[in-house]
């Protein structure tokens, strides 16, 4: 029964996401790398490489924050969570259903975004009428795919992380925002192969601040510093995902939900 009910909640969640303005904003934002690749490619190579990279590694974590917090927040703000929590479903199943529904709504967007951006590097893209882009020293087609895939997976991990944070904290968005930009900036000192690769602040700092005076050619200099995600980063990502999910499931089970103006 629980799996079926979880699926129902997931389906309902996905359907509800598709009707929100937020979804359409996400659609536009997630297509940005593709449009940049298509329009700017070839003629503004530095700009293209950098923006593509930043789109995945800065914009997507922020969208992960927005979407992640919404997993529980939407139901709490609408006060409809009361209905879900007075069914025989466990709270963990409700949380899981909401999470799966949110993945299901947004993962295809990311997939299309990654696919679209990657295509401009390939012969297949050229055959579809896209301009075949020259590969830069730093960003080869292979690296492009690896980075994009990592960023897309990172989005889902961020989403899970912030969904869990909301299960613990009422003001998860503000705290999540600080966490994304400041705390990660601090932990970005950790050597490669660790959480550093996930640091939004690190990318912003390196991408904009360090290279500001030499813009746009300075962007290219930062790439070797950032490196490309490899096995260590994937393991870190998986660890964060599992940890966040476990904490989130625990939190929804243990913590009561306070609806707006619930004191009566």
Partner 1 sequence: MILTLKDVAKWYGPVIGLVDVSVEIEQGVTGLLGPNGAGKSTFLKLVAGQLRPSTGEVRVLGHDPFRTPAVFRKVGFSPEPDAFYEDMTGLGFVSFLTRLRGFTPSEARRKAQEAVECVGLTEAAHKRIGAYSKGMRQRIKLAQALAHDPEILILDEPLTGLDPVARRRIVELVRELGEQGRTILISSHVLHEVEAMTPRIVLLHQGRVLARGTIDEIRALLDQYPHRIVVRSPDARELAQALLAAPGVVGVQLADGMVRIDANNPDEVYDLLPGLVLERNLSVHGLEMADASLDAIFEYLVK
Q: Which residues bind partner 1 (CB under 8 A)?
A: 1, 5, 8-9, 12, 16, 19, 78-80, 82-91, 256-259, 262-264
In the bound state with partner 1, the residue whose beta carbon lies nearer, of 35 and 85, is 85
Residue reference for tokens 């870190």: 236
Q: Give the nearer residue to partner 1 in terms of CB position, either 5 or 240.
A: 5
Distance CA 104, CA 99 (A): 9
In eight-state DSSP terms, residue 229 is -
Distance CA 119, CA 141 (A): 9
Closest approach, Cβ 17 to partner 1, in A, equals: 12
Cα R_g (the chain), whole angstroms: 20
DSSP states along 159-221: HHHHHHHHHH-TTHHHHHHHIIIIIHHHHTTSPTTSGGGG-HHHHHIIIIITTGGGTTHHHHH
**Residue whose CB is less far from partner 1, 62 or 104:** 104
Provide, rounded to whole angstroms, the least separation between the CB of residue 15 and partner 1.
Answer: 9
Q: Which is nearer to partner 1, 137 or 256 (CB)?
A: 256
Q: Give the shortest CB-24-to-partner 1 separation in angstroms.
A: 16
Closest distance to partner 1 from the beta carbon of 252 (Å): 12
DSSP letter at 89 equals S
> For partner 1, which is the closer residue by CB, 24 or 215?
24
Instruction: Give the shortest CB-238-to-partner 1 separation in angstroms.
Output: 30
Cis peptide preceding 216, ω within 30 of 0: yes
Q: How far apart are CA 203 and CA 53, in angstroms?
A: 9
Nearer to partner 1, 71 or 119 (CB): 71
Min separation Cβ 76 and partner 1, Å: 10
Sign of the dihedral defined by the CA atoms of residues 115, 117, 123, 125, in that order: positive
Distance CA 16, CA 74 (A): 10
CB of 250 to partner 1, least distance (A): 13
**Can you tell me whether residue 128 is helix, strand or coil?**
coil
Structure token pair of residue 179: 């966490």
Calpha distance 254→205 (Å, rounded): 38
**Of residues 1 and 21, the one with the C-beta less far from partner 1:** 1
């Amino acid at each position: 029964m629980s799996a079926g009910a979880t699926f129902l909640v997931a389906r309902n969640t996905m359907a509800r996401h598709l009707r929100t303005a937020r979804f359409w904003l996400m659609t536009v934002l997630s297509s940005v790398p593709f449009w940049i690749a298509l329009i700017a490619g070839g003629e503004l190579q530095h700009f293209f490489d950098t923006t593509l990279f930043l789109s995945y590694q800065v914009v997507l974590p922020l969208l992960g924050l927005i979407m992640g917090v919404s997993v529980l927040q939407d139901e709490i703000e609408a006060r409809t969570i009361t209905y879900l929590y007075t069914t025989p479903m466990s709270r963990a199943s409700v949380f899981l259903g909401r999470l799966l529904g949110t993945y299901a709504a947004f993962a295809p967007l990311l997939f299309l975004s990654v696919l679209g951006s990657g295509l401009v590097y390939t012969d297949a893209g050229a055959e579809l009428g896209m301009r075949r882009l020259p590969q830069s020293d730093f960003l080869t087609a292979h690296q492009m795919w690896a980075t994009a895939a990592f960023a897309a997976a990172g989005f889902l991990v961020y989403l899970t992380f912030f969904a869990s944070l909301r299960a613990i904290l009422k003001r998860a968005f503000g705290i999540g925002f600080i966490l994304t930009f400041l705390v990660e900036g601090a932990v970005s000192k950790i050597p490669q192969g660790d959480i550093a690769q996930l640091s939004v602040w690190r990318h912003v700092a390196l991408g904009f601040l360090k290279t500001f005076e030499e813009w746009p050619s300075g962007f290219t200099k930062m790439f070797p510093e950032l490196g490309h995600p490899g096995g260590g980063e994937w393991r870190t990502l998986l660890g964060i995902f599992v940890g966040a999910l476990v904490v989130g499931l625990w939190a929804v089970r243990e913590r009561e939900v306070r609806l707006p103006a619930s004191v009566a």
